[in-house]
Amino acid sequence: MNDRTARSHRNRSQTLTSLATNSFVLESRQLMTAAPAQVVMLSATTVDSESVTVDYQINNEALTQPLTLGVYRSATSTYDSNAIAAGTVTIPATSFDTAGNHALSLGTHEITLPLDGGLPPNPEHPYVLVVANPGTDAVNAPTDTASFRKTTIGVIIHGGVQPQGWKKNGPPWEQTMAKSLRAEGYDLVIAYNWVAESGHAGAARKQVPRVAHLIEEAAQQIDPNSPVDLHVIGHSEGAVIAGLSLAKLEQTPNLLHGYKELTLLDPHSASNGFKGKQFSVSNNLMGSIARAEITRYQSQANDPPAMVPSDVNDAQVFFQHTPISAAHGSNNGLYNLWGQVPVIAAPNVPVHYANLTGSGISHAGDVGVYNWYQTNIVPKLGNGPALFNPSALTANLTLSATQSPMFAGTGVPGAAIDVYARAEGKSAKLPLGTTTVDSTGHWTIPASRSLPVGAMFFAHAKVPVFPGLKRVYVSPTVQATTSITP
């Protein structure tokens, strides 16, 4: 290697060393950090199960648009695709929080907002989730969600004059229903047993403070921060006890914050004070004796009437007025007690009625009202209150200049619908068609353009008493209304 080549190598080596130590030293850089979420959900609860109370924090800057929060029911405290929407609440830009500050300003806030439909029992989805910015992926942003858990207590109260052979465990139907409610997700079920006293006139009153105490005692075993939903189910005289027990409750904080649902199954107060027919008896000597005995017993008992107190959020009344001739298995064919309706209800408490009257349904026969409720309603209670009225039916005849006439209406899904005409002053029926109510509760029957002039049109529905049984309820016949479209 000559001198020139050696100098070239030395110069190149020095240059590379200089570049490595001086020229290419990168300036210090920091990764950009994500700004905190603008709305952070801190906590949620309810004070009355008709509203939600939320604590939240607004970061970065005040909000200028209303803040919408989604409310969901879930089996867990995590918001995901399995959560069931329960409604939305909106915090307007002009609202104030409980401290009197603008609810959408920077900082921490608490506010209580009404929720349409409230938060009724939903045992299979006990968690209530309140989600900021619903529709976003809150699974990856836990600060978007606040939650709390509700506890559900079920109470079942049988009626009066029970066989003493049931004294130890209570009526079999009550035990079956209690087991079913637990399977539906109820946290605690009280199957109240007063069989030993049930045959004594006036004994129903004595049960009221005992039932109220059992409910209070059960609620005290639950976290006071967990709202307790209460579902009380009473049959016959047990319906009288149910309403009065709710009225007598000493409200623990968690009971006060929970939802109270009252279900009355053929409510029947042992009293002659009810205005209206209370039972059906057979048309013979034994039926007359039964009538006299029922009247005597009710006079001695003189129960207060069934009622729905003011602290109930929602009530349902399932009743029947089936004549003894059609009430299979009811008291050896001698008499069938009827549900006393309407019941006395506090103002502004919604009460929903379902008329079960029909061949095969009775107060406590082969298919008593409690059997019907067990089969048709209890399996739905895991997802919230349920109401099913087999006698519900509407019918309408639509006449159009451009389309064929059409009969249409609503009814119980699966019911068989018959439509017929009857000429004025005539008793003969002219069948016009049959169909089945679809899964959405609607039915249609195309009508012939040769409809009888001047005739009236009617519909009735046949609804199975129990799945798989041939006996059916025949709903009251309804006259089709007529509408004319262009």
Structure tokens at 284: 């013979």
Instruction: Report whether 239 contacts 204 (CB < 8 A).
Output: no
What is the rounded distance in angstroms from the CA atom of residue 442 to the CA atom of residue 334? 39
User: In sequence order, which residues have a C-beta less than 8 Å from that of residue 352 and are 6 or more positions away?
Assistant: 314, 315, 316, 317, 387
The length of the chain is 486
User: In sequence order, which residues have a C-beta less than 8 Å from that of residue 15 and are 6 or more positions away?
Assistant: none
Instruction: Report whether 80 contacts 105 (CB < 8 A).
Output: no
Give residue 376's pLDDT.
87
Give residue 401's pLDDT.
74
**Rounded to 5 degrees, what are φ and ψ at 36?**
-60, 155
Structure tokens at 99: 């401290």
Q: How many CB atoms lie within 10 A of CB 481?
A: 12
What is the rounded distance in angstroms from the CA atom of residue 79 to the CA atom of residue 85? 11
Instruction: Report whether 39 contacts 61 (CB < 8 A).
Output: no
User: In sequence order, which residues have a C-beta less than 8 Å from that of residue 341 and are 6 or more positions away?
Assistant: 267, 317, 319, 353
- CA nearest neighbour of 41 among 65, 76, 77, 73: 77
* Domains located in the chain, CATH noted: 39-149 (2.60.40), 151-383 (3.40.50), 396-485 (2.60.40)
**What's at 388, amino acid-wise?**
F
**Rounded to 5 degrees, what are φ and ψ at 256?**
-65, -35
Instruction: Report whether 83 contacts 72 (CB < 8 A).
Output: yes
Alpha carbon dihedral 362, 365, 370, 376, in 10-degree steps, equals -70
What is the rounded distance in angstroms from the CA atom of residue 133 to the CA atom of residue 117? 21
Alpha carbon dihedral 399, 403, 407, 408, in 10-degree steps, equals -110
Alpha carbon dihedral 424, 425, 430, 431, in 10-degree steps, equals 80
What is the rounded distance in angstroms from the CA atom of residue 279 to the CA atom of residue 141? 61
Q: How many CB atoms lie within 10 A of CB 166?
A: 18
Positions in the chain whose pLDDT score sits under 70 = 1-37, 135-142, 449, 465-471, 486
Give residue 225's pLDDT.
85
End-to-end CA distance of the chain: 109
Can you give the three-state secondary structure of the chain, one letter per residue? Answer: CCHHHHHHHHHHHHHHHHHHHHHCCCCCCCCCCCCCCCEEEEEEECCCCCEEEEEEEECCCCCCCCEEEEEEEECCCCCCCCCEEEEEEEECCCCECCCCCECCCCEEEEEEEECCCCCCCCCCCCEEEEEECECECHHHCHHHEEEEECEEEEEEECCCCCCHHHCCCCCHHHHHHHHHHHHCCCCEEEEECCHHHCCCCCHHHHHHHHHHHHHHHHHHCCCCCCCEEEEEEEECHHHHHHHHHHHHCCCCHHHHHCCEEEEEECCCCCCCCCCCCCEEECCCHHHHHHHHHHHHHHHHHCCCCCEECCCCCEEEEEECCCCHHHCCCCHHHCEEECCCCCCEECCCCCEEEEECCCCCCECCCCCEHHHHHHHHCHHHHHHCCCCCCCCCECCEEEEECCCCCEEEEEECCCCEEEEEEECCCCCCCEEEEEEECCCCCEEEEECCCCCCCCCEEEEEEEEECCCCCCCEEECCCEECEEEEEC
Q: How many CB atoms lie within 10 A of CB 30?
A: 5
What is the rounded distance in angstroms from the CA atom of residue 62 to the CA atom of residue 66? 11
